[in-house]
Structure 1
Amino acid sequence: MDDIKRKETAASMLKEMEAIAARMRELIVTMPPHDLLGYIYAQYMMNAMADQSATEEKREEDGPDDLINENQFLLEYVHAVLASDAAPPEMAFDEAQCTELFELGRKLRELAMFFAMATSADTKDGVFGPDTADIEFRAKSTWVMLRGNRYQVLEEEFYRYVLAPHNDVLIEVYGVGAADIAEGFQAMANSTRSGYADAIMEMSKQFEEAQAFAAAQDKPLEGVIEAWAAANAEQSQAAVQAINDMFRGGIANVSCHTKLPPKLLADLAYCRGEETEFFAAGDFAGTPYRTLPARKKPLIQVGSDYYAIDPCFTRDAGYRALLYNLLQRKQEYKKTFENRQKAMSEAAFADILADQLPGATVFQEVYYKDPASKQWSENDTLILIDDILFLVEAKAGAAATIASPALDFGRHAQSVQDLVLKAYKQCERFFSYLNSADEVPLYRLIDGKYEECGRVRRSDYRVMVPIGLTVESFSPFSAYCKVLPQVEPLLGKHAFVSLSIDDLFVLKRFLPTPGSFAHYMEVRQAVAGMRQAHLFDEFDHLGAYLKKNRFDQEIADQLKDGKANMLIWDGMCDIVDRSFEGEDWENRPFPTQDFPEEVLKLLEVLDATRARGWLSVESHIRDLGEEGRKNLAKILSDLRQTLNQNPARYFTLSGDGKPLFVWLQHHDYQIDWTKVNDKASAAALAVKASNVIGVVAEVSPNGTYHRAQSFVVRIPAVRTEENAYIYEDAARMAQPTRAVNLNQPKNVMPLGNTKKPGRNDPCPCGSGAKYKKCHGR
């Protein structure tokens, strides 16, 4: 009975949505588009300014963000009506009709959300297993509600990168290259983002100049305004443009605010009345569950100019429409286009994140013989850096279908299948191959022959991250792909992560070092393996990491009682969002996790040295919470200042069952590696650890860190006559008064004043290599 009622309710809501949409169409088509746009944008900007000036409490109480989204929703409907209807012979602006239009838009949006709830609740099972109903609701609500979940200031960077492979053909077809087109898309975004404020400033400037002109003439302003305009034609035209921007939707006029050629703009735009599907008879006519025209072509031609009425679909729809029309105009380019897209997407991860992957070994188009099928298989990009392995499977096509989830949820699900599962399966095959032997060969295909190009041992890698990479943002499915029944952690422990090129441009700014990026990916992967934990997109994950560090552990704690079958963390991205606000965003530092200066010095010197195992040490240190970081800083500082009296000191951090042994060595003295290893072994026995990470840092007492490297701590399994002294030392360390832990470091006795070896002397660590090529690097 409940199912029947829900269906009846859904049918009633659908009928009401169609009626509201028809009335909105009537109102929009009868008003002059410039006046209507000016009115809506004025409301839009006032709400945006109110949002910026409101306190956090006021934002929560009034929800100005929601008002902004409502205005955005209405702008999409203006675009839809202008695209669907030719201009009538008579039009007149009516503020009362505008008020009705706002109210209708608000009601339509609310009804669409209720419809999403009512029609998703009946879904019992599907491609997402028992979570299909929830995912279907989120797909439908996102389709209606999500607007502008991009950082507009990064438009140029995105377009410049993804269009670069097609630069020559873009110049041939449109007369402008990738850089100019990228600049044009950024200008579109800037015009909407700051155009209103720019227009106000321009008006103020011209008003002041006109006043000065009047004062010089010793006449009232009204009496000289025509003379001023005649004498200052350029300034007068700027004032007219500012008035248009402020009151007649001029900030959306991309013909005025970009240098993009009309031919290109025409390919991105509807002519009046060109769209025939949105309001066509049938279910969902004119409702937001049809495909809004702005999702297909982001611009509209009004008169002789082109307008980006909806500022938020410009990114996704613009990219797709541009490439589609490029191929329509030059169909013989299709095969080359596909090859270039493939090469760009496969190189993107290592290319964009070059600073985060210094010295990494990067294999592209890696081949191997699958042990199961005995067939040759291929993977896109394998990246090896220190003890971390990234396997990236890139998908160069559009990330999301423009088919409505209400009309065809199956097509949405299929896009997930195509983009996520194909990448996942390719990663799964490679991980199984890695697991098939202690060491496996890799091949390249050269002139039809497979030639070995490297070998990989799974045991060398502490962290292995399989990644599916799309060109465009794939939110929210990118974060929800883990609920697909087929997506299990590879080899039982390596969770699959879905990212987009969009995401990479943001991640590289907030995680500028190899250590910070690697640690984030470890935490991100841990959350990717938690089916019950949901964050909307990558920026929510990034925000949670910046605020809480090991937020995966906090989520695990919240889920461990077994009472919740789903945990949603919402709004964590605010710390990221705010970083791209304001005109000076590029000059402000991006938020980072806090580390005491002494700990930062150690992290920096680990990064500078980059000896094997450095990311493991960084990960261990970055795992520490606020109190642990402060304690580590104090111990480092206290012991470092005594190095003039004791050229070497050591201590052990033994929190959370993952001990870290730290040896501080005066930079002017040789490291006694025998003592380092013996003390580390004793410390491991003292804290009863099965695994200890060791790090040696060469430091000057004044606080300069010169070098740091990890080393393997060998823990004796059985006491013998030869190692008895280590066990005796461990027993002394384990005494309560000599506890080796986070708060009570144990220091060694002063070492002899042995000078460091020369650069060409044998390295004292016993490797047989010269000091300059071993620990003297």
Structure 2
Amino acid sequence: MNDKKRKEAAASLLKDMEATSARMRDLIVAIPPHDLLGYIYAQRLMKAMADQSAEEQCQADTPDDLINEIQFLLEYVHAALASDAAPADMTFDEAKCAELFELGRKLREQAMFFAMATSADTKNGIFGPDTADIEFRAKSIWVVLRGYRYQVLEGEFYRYVLAPHNDVLKEVYGVGAAFIAEGFQAMADATRSGHAEATMEMMKQFEAAQAFSVAQDKTQDEIMEAWVAANAEQAKAAGLAMDDMFRGGIANVSRHTKLPPTLLADLAYQRGEETEFFATGDFAGTPYRTLPARKKPLIQLGSDYYAVDPCFARDAGYRALLYNLLQRKPDYKKAFEDRQKTMSEAAFADILAAQLPGATVLQEIYYKDPTSKQWSENDTLILIDDVLFLVEAKAGAAATIASPALDFGRHAQSVQDLVLKAYKQCERFFNYLNSADEVCLYRLVGGKFEECGRVRRSDYRLMVPIGLTVESFSPFSAYCKELPQVEPLLGRHAFVSLSIDDLFVLKRILPTPGEFAHYMEVRQAVAGMRKAHLFDELDHLGAYLKKNRFDQEIAEQLKGDKLNMLIWDGMSDIVDKAFEGEDWETRPFPTQNFPEELQKLLDALDVTRAHGWLSAEGQIRDLGEDGRKNLAKMLFDLRQTLNQYPARYFVLAGDGKPLFVWLQQHGQQIDWSKVNEKASAASLAVEGSHMVGVVAAVSSDGTYHQAQSFSVRVPTERTEENSSIYEDAARMAHPTRAVNLKQPENAPLGKIKKLGRNDPCPCGSGAKFKRCHGR
């Protein structure tokens, strides 16, 4: 299709979209809103019931289509109700409701075709040669993406992000952050489980009425009248359950939450208040204008407030609440911005405290840029073992981005502003780290810069620059790597974009420092791969749980020049399922599988947390299923012999990353000189230029009391002093040697020199014993 025909097709699609949306508006306004909501939510309930049937699931090719259609239609119900006053004459007509569903499907389809037609001729742009593909995805996602957060975590999110404004919220609305967070959670729960609870309530009251009728010798009408008179509260509960079931009552936030009317009014349109969405002009009433629910997610019907569209009540509620808070208290703006900044900068280390035990956390650090000679500032630097996280937080809302159809350039520029500012700040700091063997960090105290620490780049195996937003920034959090300006820092440290929403999920699925650090290592590898796309952080997390080093599989698929873009879709399902159901908090979260013996070693490394433990965990976690089984078997076989031998050792070689493991009988002091000699010999035997060593104190019954990593010194040339190591290496490398390279039987440990706390640690780290393995 040439450019002229493509433009003509786009113009025709736009005209069709405007006509379809106008017809939807007319139908919605003509139907009583409570009856319409009841009908739409009933379709959702029937879909959920059908999904529980195995037979229905087998027949359903696209099980989520109806849910997506319902969500889209509810957005238009909200838009029409916000844009039109209630007419005097309204009647419920099921045929018109069915027509609405059909029109909703048609409008979504038209919007998708429009996205294709208007994106295909984009030759180049902000995302380089991939701009056309990303423009299409930006437009299509603008139409269909809603509510990609887990409803059960709403309260936790709001508690955290509203806490800085607790005193002002109480002053303006009479309730604090925790109370408001509870209200938003109740709002989410009402649409998530409201129908189920209403059904149970109706059954309960029906059974009570039946029991009452057994003892009465009266007609059915008389019995019901008498039961209602004798059980007023139960009758009221039954009536409310009926309202939830059949008249959209689950969306009534006045009833299902305790949020004050003043706050709800700030988040709600009155009937006919909205004047922009259907106003004459390009894209009138189409999904490519800003839906009213993005601005105010609630609607007032009578004296109550309704979350007609449950997803935007979550997606836009936070931004709408803070906007109205400032409208009511404009003199709070400066303090508001300062508190937002403080909250967002602390969020990473705060929310992930369990994943960062003992970490050095430096906030608002300064340094003199060696290039510009000006003082520069970074938000949060986190140092834990041999891992460095640099977090640049952006407290602004990603949801304020302009519609990509109205102005893709502005839309893309908003992406640039949000991503590139954080990226550039990270880039300056990494360049500073690279400017000297050791660099100084400063704090601004009383207008003067005071040194607060020093950092050596060589101390860190993994360095991750992170841009953190408050609200979800999908899909651009995953796409930002396509910006031509976004290159791995110092040629190897890719930039990662996350949101506070993501952190609440990551902290549950990756509960230990080792799991989290290894995930971030893999995640960073994918962040550095252009053309490879997973939709959001949850897809990355799901891919990690399922495939571990999924970056390596993606790299294999991208080999050659045949692929313009590689998309992995649906990887988040394993994570999604973890937050479903009423018992989600008591069920175990999904995790990667490790044999029991190997898990004990990982647990011991995590408990001991001696220098280098994250490196050791990372190497073990790199192993695939077979490698994990092999390592577990070696551990199991050799530790069972610790009653006969005080120590055993072996090497697991493969993928160029050999691992040396020394098992020490618990209660015996470690002979570090022997450990180092055997590890050095093993490194020569397997020709490993870099080897990670692990020493574990174990009982023969399988209890791992402690485990720690150490640096293996690899000899570079043979000398008289190390000739015994080379001879040992030759024996180890002999073809007749078993894979489990272990200490000869009956080998005496000999006398072990007692180390002083200030002596160099024998593990080879260069630190004093008291600050390394002597802790």
TM-score of the pair, normalised by structure 2:
0.97
Match of 1:127 in 2: 126
Q: Report the Cα distance in structure 2 between the residues aligned to 1:734 and 1:623, rounded to whole angstroms.
A: 25
C-alpha change, 1:635 and 1:155, in structure 2 (3 Å) is: same
Which residue in the other structure is 2:258 paired with? 259
User: Alpha-carbon deviations, 1:435-468, whole Å to 9, x = none?
Assistant: 0000000000000000000000000000000000
Q: Match for residue 29 of structure 2?
A: 29
The answer (yes or no) to whether the contact 1:497–1:525 under 8 Å persists in 2 is yes
Corresponding letter in the other structure for 2:602: L
Distance 1:694 1:188 in 2: 52
TM-fit CA distance, 1:127: 1.0
2:730 corresponds to: 731
Matched residue, 2:625: 626
User: Amino acid of the residue matched to residue 97 of structure 2?
Assistant: C
Q: For residue 575 of structure 1, what is the aligned residue in structure 2?
A: 574
Distance 2:219 2:632 in 1: 69
* Distance across 2 between alignment mates of 1:287 and 1:763: 73
Deviation at 1:770? 11
Post-superposition shift, 1:508? 0.4
In 2 relative to 1, CA 534–163 (structure 1 residues): closer, same or farther, beyond 3 Å? same
Which one-letter code corresponds to 2:539 in the other structure? D
CA contact (8 A) 1:37 1:248 kept: yes
| TM-aligned CA distance change 1:708 to 1:304, over 3 Å | same
Counterpart amino acid of residue 342 in structure 1: K
Equivalent-residue separation in structure 1 for 2:193 and 2:613 (angstroms): 44
After TM superposition, the structure 1 stretch with the greater mean CA deviation from structure 2, 247-256 or 707-716, is 707-716
Quick check: 1:107 aligned with 2:106? yes
- How far, CA to CA, are the matches of 2:55 and 2:432 in structure 1? 55
Does structure 1 residue 16 correspond to structure 2 residue 16?
A: yes
Residue type of the alignment partner of 1:602: L
**Equivalent-residue separation in structure 2 for 1:141 and 1:508 (angstroms):** 31
SS at match of 1:97: helix
On the 8 A contact 2:361/2:380 being kept in 1, the answer is: yes
Give SS of 2:107's match. helix
Q: What SS class does the counterpart of residue 316 from structure 2 fall into?
A: helix
1:441 aligned counterpart, secondary structure: strand
Shift of 1:408: 1.4
Post-superposition offset of 1:48: 2.5
Query: Cα offset for 1:668?
Result: 1.7
* C-alpha spacing 1:770/1:699, structure 2 compared with 1 (3 Å): farther
CA contact (8 A) 1:401 1:412 kept: no
Is 2:611–2:772's contact at 8 Å kept on the other side of the alignment?
A: no
Identity %: 80
Amino acid of the residue matched to residue 746 of structure 2? P
Shift of 1:750: 3.4
Question: Offset at 1:401?
Answer: 2.2
Cα pair distance change 1:316/1:770, threshold 3 Å: closer
Q: How do 1:304-315 and structure 2 match up within 5 A? A: 304-315=303-314
CA deviation after TM superposition for structure 1 residue 532, in Å: 1.3
For residue 146 of structure 1, report the CA deviation from its aligned partner: 1.1
Is 1:550 matched with 2:546?
Answer: no
The C-alpha deviation readout for 1:123-171, integer Å capped at 9, x for no partner, is: 1111111111111111100011112211011000000000000000000
Aligned length: 773
Alignment of 1:706-721 (within 5 A): 706-721=705-720
Instruction: State the SS of the aligned residue for 1:367.
Output: strand
Secondary structure of the structure 2 residue equivalent to 1:411 = helix
Which residue is 2:499 aligned to?
A: 500
Match of 1:750 in 2: 746
Q: Is the 8 A contact 2:673 2:762 kept in 1?
A: no
Q: Which residue of 2 aligns with 1:238?
A: 237
For 1:774 and 1:175, the matched residues in 2 are separated by: 52
> Deviations for 1:522-558, whole angstroms, at most 9, x for unmatched residues?
0000000001110000000000000000000000111
Alignment-derived partner of residue 161 in structure 2: 162
Check 1:55–1:693 CA distance in 2 against 1; reply closer, same or farther (3 A cut).
farther
Query: Equivalent residue for 2:41?
Result: 41
**Aligned with 1:451: secondary structure?**
strand
The residue that corresponds to 1:403 in the other structure is 402
Matched, 1:201 2:200: yes
Structure-1 separation of matches of 2:371 and 2:44 = 59
User: How has the CA–CA distance of structure 1 residues 265 and 295 changed in structure 2, closer, same or farther, with 3 Å as cutoff?
Assistant: same
Report which stretch shifted further, 42-51 or 484-493.
Answer: 42-51
Q: Secondary structure of 2:383's match? A: strand
Q: Is the 8 A contact 1:395 1:468 kept in 2?
A: yes
CA distance in 1, matches of 2:641, 2:26: 82
RMSD over aligned CA atoms reads 1.9
Cα distance between partner residues in 2 of 1:670 and 1:231: 79
Residues 37-66 of structure 1, C-alpha deviation per residue, up to 9 Å, x if partnerless? 00000001211232343479637x431201
Q: CA deviation at 1:562?
A: 2.9
What SS does the aligned partner of 1:391 have? strand
Alignment of 1:358-397 (within 5 A): 358-397=357-396
SS at match of 2:593: coil
* Alpha-carbon offset, residue 749 of structure 1: 4.0
The answer to whether the 8 Å contact 1:363/1:382 transfers is yes
Deviation of 1:488 after TM superposition, in Å, equals 0.1
Q: Residue 667 of structure 1 aligns with which residue? A: 666
Match of 2:202, as an amino acid?
A: M
Q: Counterpart amino acid of 2:377?
A: E
Cα distance in 2 between the residues matched to 1:763 and 1:644: 31
Q: Name the SS of the counterpart of 2:215 in structure 1.
A: helix
Q: Is the 8 A contact 2:244 2:250 kept in 1?
A: yes
2:2 paired residue number: 2
CA–CA distance in 2 between the matches of 1:12 and 1:319? 37
Aligned partner of 1:649 in structure 2 is: 648
Aligned to 1:268: 267
> 1:128 corresponds to which letter in structure 2?
F
Correspondence for 1:559: 558
**CA deviation map 1:205-258 (0-9, x unaligned):** 001101111112244543311111111111111011001101101000000000
After superposition, the Cα gap between the structure-2 partners of 1:40 and 1:673, relative to the gap in structure 1 and judged at 3 Å, is same
Counterpart CA distance in 2 for 1:35 and 1:317 is: 25
Instruction: Write the distance in 2 (CA, Å) between the matches of 1:771 and 1:543.
Output: 40
Asked whether the 8 Å contact 2:142–2:404 carries over to 1, the reply is yes
Pairing 1:97–2:96 present: yes
CA–CA distance in 1 between the matches of 2:747 and 2:226? 89
Q: Report SS of the residue matched to 1:557.
A: helix
* CA-to-aligned-CA distance 1:17-41 (integer Å, 9 cap, x gap): 1111111111110110000000000
Distance 2:746 2:17 in 1: 82
Matched-pair contact (CA < 8 Å) for 1:253–1:308: yes
CA change 1:97–1:764 in 2 (3 A) is closer
Name the CA shift for 1:54/1:512 in 2 (closer, same or farther; >3 Å).
same
Give the corresponding residue for 2:414: 415
Report deviation, 1:79.
0.3
Which amino acid in the other structure matches residue 747 of structure 1?
Q
Say which is worse superposed, 396-405 or 448-457, in terms of deviation: 396-405
What is the CA–CA distance in structure 2 between the aligned matches of 1:472 and 1:159, rounded to whole Å? 11
Q: Which shows bigger deviation, 140-149 or 185-194?
A: 140-149
1:86 aligned onto 2:85? yes
Q: Which ranges in structure 2 are unaligned for 5 or more consecutive residues?
A: none
| Equivalent residue number for residue 596 of structure 1 | 595
Aligned partner of 1:333 in structure 2 is 332
Instruction: Determine the structure 1 residue equivalent to 2:465.
Output: 466
**Matched residue, 2:540:** 541
Which residue identity is paired with 1:545?
Answer: Y
Separation in structure 1 between the aligned mates of residue 635 and residue 498 of structure 2, nearest angstrom: 38
* Cα pair distance change 1:749/1:714, threshold 3 Å: farther
Which residue is 2:484 aligned to?
485
Find the residue that maps to 1:286 and give its secondary structure: coil
